[in-house]
């Protein structure tokens, strides 16, 4: 009996130990489509048979045994917004070169980016990454997570300044002129979206060619109607989703310097009258009851989707959400949307230089190759293919390709084709796509930019929530920021 007990005890012990060790075994697979375990989802590679190294193609990036390699491409956009189609196209086109790709979607929030950083550190888990914003790119580049592709581009004869624009590239240079990521889309977040039906019903002219702060406030007031939960607001600033956009509209007329008085980053310009005027315009729109306040956004969990797309706001920032406009299945609506530039302080700024916000390059979706990728050459093939036309299917979902070789008429026609219900003002889209991009300013790498932007956001939040006055908030932002620059 005792013997049996011992045997049972040893079996139980063995099972526990096995459990402990299997629990410690690293997961050899990528994040799967099981959303409960990971916030990344996968679009698989093709299952067709590759041609092998002996095929007609003289380029072979696959394995020596004739099987293709599979690139893991990570991006923050849902696969159904064009990525599934683009990846399928790539897999067809590159099968005889031994490259297949699978798309893994991550959520572009702090948790999702942490997941990306963790995977970037491990070998081969990410080959190609599409990231968002300059700060994560610069951070990942300086910490050695991304591959320096300057030489690869040069060897291939790809002139990024010519193909994508010098101003577009300037925000993403590392250590002077080194390239770790290329912007792929044009997304000028100084532009707004307006509900054409509400404008027409209120008899307010649509500001296709720009407007002043006073005109914005007047329009927002006229567009506001109703009370309580049924109130329709003139404006939605989308502070919670990205406060930098509203700050960008204000700073746009400050030109190349942005938050600084000079290009040498010796002092911030938060004592400029422009900042006072801009913040006053935003605050007036909220205090007058014509725009959702930050407190409304927080307490009601308001987003672009549950305000503008539900017809509860007539004007909204957040041009990056353009893709949601045409997704009437998820966001059913019948009103027409037009794109208009954000307002400028007064008539003196209603010039070509400022009223369309052409001085801002407005780019995003940065494509990079992971430093730890086992297939950097194949990754470069994908990068170049994607950038120079492969990302075309995404255009139908509002992600406008930046590459100069991409015909903007094709984008308009693709979107027109998608827009069967006629809910997008295509003329305004045409204006947005064809503004003079050569006027975009080259922005050097300013000192302590990320920290200063964080300070400005913090003080702006205090102003919006009535914790401090505009003047006090800006004075505090200036003294705190200048201390960093000293």
- Contact (CB, 8 A) for 440 and 359: yes
Identify which range of 140-148, 244-252, 382-390, 421-429 contacts another protein by CB under 8 A.
140-148
Q: Does 37 bind another protein (CB under 8 A)?
A: no
Which of 108, 241, 413, 461 touches another protein by CB under 8 A?
Answer: 461
Q: Which is nearer to another protein, 22 or 47 (CB)?
A: 22
| 482 phi-psi bin (left φ>0, alpha ψ -120 to 50, beta other) | alpha
When asked if residue 26 is in the footprint of another protein (CB under 8 A), the reply is no
Residues between 260 and 319 that touch another protein (CB under 8 A) = 294-301
CA dihedral 168, 119, 30, 69 (to 10 degrees): 60
Question: Parallel, antiparallel, or unpaired: how do β-strands 191-195 and 313-316 relate?
Answer: antiparallel
User: Smallest gap, in angstroms, from Cβ of residue 118 to another protein?
Assistant: 8
CB of 296 to another protein, least distance (A): 7
- β-pair type (191-195, 233-236): unpaired
The site that binds another protein (CB under 8 A) totals a number of residues, namely 33
Q: Which two tokens stand for residue 445?
A: 């790498």
Which lies closer to another protein via its Cβ, residue 114 or residue 263?
A: 114
- Shortest Cβ distance from residue 125 to another protein (Å)? 14
Contact 94, 381 (CB under 8 A): yes
Question: Would you count residue 458 as binding another protein (CB under 8 A)?
Answer: yes
Length of the chain as a residue count: 486
Q: Which is nearer to another protein, 114 or 421 (CB)?
A: 114
CA 32 to chain centre: 24
Shortest approach of another protein to residue 260 CB, angstroms?
23
Cα–Cα distance for residue pair 252/216, rounded to 1 Å: 16
Task: By CB under 8 A, tell whether 54 contacts another protein.
Answer: no
Please work out, in degrees rounded to the nearest 5, the angle formed at the alpha carbon of residue 475 by the alpha carbons of 474 and 481.
85
Nearer to another protein, 144 or 205 (CB): 144
Residue with tokens 């049972």: 8
Report the nearest approach of another protein to the CB of residue 302 (Å): 10
Q: Which residue is associated with the tokens 């067809």?
A: 92
Strand order of the β-sheet with 233-236 is: 233-236, 313-316, 191-195, 337-341
Selected binder of another protein within 139, 148, 150, 328 (CB under 8 A): 139
Question: Residue 13, interface with another protein (CB under 8 A)?
Answer: yes
Q: Are 101 and 70 in contact (CB under 8 A)?
A: yes
Among 6, 92, 162, 166, binds another protein (CB under 8 A): 6
Closest CA to 119 of 72, 84, 68, 79: 72
Q: What is the CA radius of gyration of the chain?
A: 25
With CB under 8 A as the contact rule, the residue among 26, 110, 176, 332 that binds another protein is: 110
Query: Of residues 69-108, which lie at the interface with another protein (CB under 8 A)?
Result: none
Q: Which stretch binds another protein (CB under 8 A): 13-21, 265-273, 380-388, 440-448?
A: 13-21
Query: Is 114 a residue that touches another protein (CB under 8 A)?
Result: yes
Residue 479 binds to another protein (criterion: CB under 8 A): no
> With binding defined as CB under 8 A, does residue 428 bind another protein?
no
User: Which DSSP letter does residue 256 get?
Assistant: G
Nearer to another protein (CB atom), residue 421 or residue 465: 465
Which of the residues 386 through 415 are near another protein (CB under 8 A)? none
Which residues is 366 bridged to in the sheet? 131, 183
With CB under 8 A as the contact rule, the residue among 16, 135, 263, 410 that binds another protein is 16
Give the three-class secondary structure for 291: strand
Binding-residue pattern over the window 227 to 266 for another protein, x denoting contact by CB under 8 A = -xx-------------------------------------
**x-or-dash pattern for another protein, window 174-213, by CB under 8 A?**
----------------------------------------
Exactly one of 209, 404, 467, 472 binds another protein (CB under 8 A); which one?
A: 467
Name the DSSP letter for residue 146.
B
> Going residue by residue from 338 to 377, which x/- string records binding to another protein, judged by CB under 8 A?
----------------------------------------
Alpha-carbon distances, residue 246 vs 267, 343, 365 (angstroms) = 22, 10, 20
* Rounded (5°) CA angle 38-40-43: 130
* Strand segments (E) across 4-144: 41-43, 69-75, 99-105, 128-131
Tokens found for residue 97: 């070169």
Please report whether residue 111 would count as binding another protein according to CB under 8 A: yes
Name 337's bridge partners: 195, 424
User: Considering the rule CB under 8 A, would residue 462 count as an interface residue with another protein?
Assistant: yes
Nearer to another protein, 135 or 154 (CB): 135
**274's tokens:** 């422009």
Residues at the site binding another protein, with contacts judged by CB under 8 A = 6, 9-10, 13, 16-17, 20, 24, 110-111, 114, 117, 121, 139-140, 143-145, 228-229, 294-301, 458, 461-462, 465, 467
């Amino acid at each position: 009996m005792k013997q049996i007990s011992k045997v049972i005890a040893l079996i139980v012990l063995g099972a526990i130990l096995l459990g402990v060790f299997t629990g410690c075994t690293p997961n050899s697979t990528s994040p799967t489509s099981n959303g409960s375990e990971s916030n990344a989802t996968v679009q698989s590679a093709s299952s067709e048979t590759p041609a092998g190294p002996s095929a007609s193609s003289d380029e072979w990036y696959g394995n020596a045994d004739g099987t293709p390699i599979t690139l893991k491409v990570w991006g923050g956009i849902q696969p159904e917004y064009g990525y599934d189609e683009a990846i399928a196209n790539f897999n067809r086109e590159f099968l005889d070169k031994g490259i297949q790709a699978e798309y893994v979607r991550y959520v572009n929030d702090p948790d999702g980016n942490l997941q990306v950083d963790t995977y970037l550190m491990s070998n081969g888990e990410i080959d190609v990454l599409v990231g968002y914003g300059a700060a994560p790119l610069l951070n990942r580049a300086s910490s050695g997570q991304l591959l320096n592709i300057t030489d690869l581009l040069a060897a291939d004869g790809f002139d990024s300044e010519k193909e994508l624009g010098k101003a577009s590239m300037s925000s993403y240079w590392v250590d002077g002129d080194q390239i770790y990521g290329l912007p792929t889309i044009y997304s000028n977040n100084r532009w707004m979206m307006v509900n054409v039906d509400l404008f027409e019903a209120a008899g307010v002219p649509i500001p296709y060619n720009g407007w002043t702060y006073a005109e914005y406030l007047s329009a927002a007031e006229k567009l506001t109607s109703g009370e309580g939960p049924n109130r329709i607001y003139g404006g939605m600033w989308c502070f919670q989703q990205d406060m930098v956009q509203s700050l960008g509209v204000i700073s746009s007329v400050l030109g190349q310097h942005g938050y600084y008085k000079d290009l040498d980053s010796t002092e911030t310009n938060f004592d400029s009258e422009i900042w006072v005027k801009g913040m006053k315009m935003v605050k007036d729109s909220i205090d007058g009851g014509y725009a959702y306040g930050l407190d409304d956004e927080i307490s009601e969990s308001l987003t672009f989707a549950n305000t503008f797309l539900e017809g509860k706001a007539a004007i909204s920032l957040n041009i990056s959400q353009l893709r949601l406009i045409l997704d009437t299945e998820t966001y059913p609506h019948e009103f027409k949307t037009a794109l208009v530039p954000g307002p400028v302080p007064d008539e003196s700024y209603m010039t070509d230089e400022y009223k369309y916000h052409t001085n801002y390059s407005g780019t995003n979706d940065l494509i990079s190759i992971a430093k730890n990728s086992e297939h950097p050459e194949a990754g470069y093939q994908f990068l170049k293919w994607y950038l120079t036309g492969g990302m075309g299917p995404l255009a139908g979902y509002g992600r406008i390709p930046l590459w100069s070789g991409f015909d903007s008429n094709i984008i308009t026609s693709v979107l027109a084709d998608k827009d069967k219900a006629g809910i997008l003002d295509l003329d305004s889209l045409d204006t947005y796509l064809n503004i003079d991009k050569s006027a975009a300013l080259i922005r050097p790498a300013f000192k302590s930019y990320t920290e200063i932007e964080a300070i400005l956001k913090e003080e702006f939040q205090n102003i919006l929530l009535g914790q401090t006055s505009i003047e006090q908030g800006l004075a505090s932002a200036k003294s705190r920021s200048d201390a960093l620059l000293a």
